């Protein structure tokens, strides 16, 4: 049995921002989303650097460790971001989140830095695969904040890990892909304003990928969309 990803990516400016700092890629083996930080134009450049580095992996030959390859590729992009930022003081502090999946056989490598997210819909149940690298998530983990209150915390967007040209700690994992699985990668422009329950309903009831991805964008817009919104929806299918 040979598996591929059937995937689409949709992005939207949102209702308040004047530029889109999100970047994404949807391929047959690779899906990724990156949410730039550092203000315009630096944030959008940082996210583009990471996605440009990752998309090369779509055409790589067979690898035994897709998660390790993702990790090494993001590290190389991190060094590139440092070079670009060092050459122009206006770009100082630029960086990005990144969440990416790379399929090899029945294995899915995952790399995650920041507060973009990966969700998995399997057998009708939605699970958040990644853990946010944020100050607010640390408060939740330490029992100082209830999970249901995290969405409204004034510092909810403060990330504790980012691909910013300096040291960071990525979450790296290897998942097992199953035909029928549906993955969602998204920037926090979706997850900050749309509940997991609403995300699950759209993922479960809208089989067409483009319709589903656009419906998730619409949910964020209806909730006020203060940030850029990017959704990548990918089905694991047999080739």
Range 3-129+164-238: architecture per CATH: 4-Layer Sandwich (3.60)
Quick check: 194 pLDDT over 70? yes
Q: Which of 12, 84, 81 is nearest to 53 (CA)?
A: 81
**Tokens 């006020």 — which residue?**
224
User: Angle at CA 213, nearest 5°, toward 209 and 217?
Assistant: 165
pTM of the model: 0.95
Quick check: 16 pLDDT over 80? yes
The pLDDT of 41-69, averaged and rounded, is 93
Query: What is the average pLDDT value for the chain, to the nearest integer?
Result: 94
Quick check: 73 pLDDT over 90? yes
């Amino acid at each position: 049995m040979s598996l591929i990803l059937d995937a689409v990516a949709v992005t939207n400016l949102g209702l308040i921002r004047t530029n889109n700092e999100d970047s994404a890629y949807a391929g047959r083996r690779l899906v990724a989303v990156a949410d730039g930080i550092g203000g315009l134009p630096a944030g959008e450049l940082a996210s583009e650097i990471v996605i440009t580095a990752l998309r090369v992996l779509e055409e790589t030959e067979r690898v035994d460790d897709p998660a390790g390859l993702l990790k090494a590729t993001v590290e190389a992009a991190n060094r590139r971001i440092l070079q670009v930022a060092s050459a122009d003081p206006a770009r100082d502090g630029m960086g990005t989140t990144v969440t990416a999946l790379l399929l090899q056989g029945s294995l899915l490598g995952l790399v995650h830095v920041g507060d973009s997210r990966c969700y998995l819909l399997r057998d009708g149940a939605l699970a958040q695969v990644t853990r946010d690298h944020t100050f607010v998530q640390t408060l939740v983990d330490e029992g100082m904040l209830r999970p249901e209150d995290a969405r409204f915390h004034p510092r909810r967007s403060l990330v504790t890990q980012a691909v910013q040209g300096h040291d960071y700690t990525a979450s790296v994992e290897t998942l097992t892909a199953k035909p029928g699985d549906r993955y969602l990668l998204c920037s926090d422009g979706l997850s900050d304003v749309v509940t997991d329950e609403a995300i699950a309903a759209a993922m479960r009831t809208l089989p067409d990928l483009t319709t589903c991805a656009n419906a998730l964008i619409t949910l964020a817009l209806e909730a006020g969309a203060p940030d850029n919104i990017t959704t990548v929806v990918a089905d694991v299918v047999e080739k």
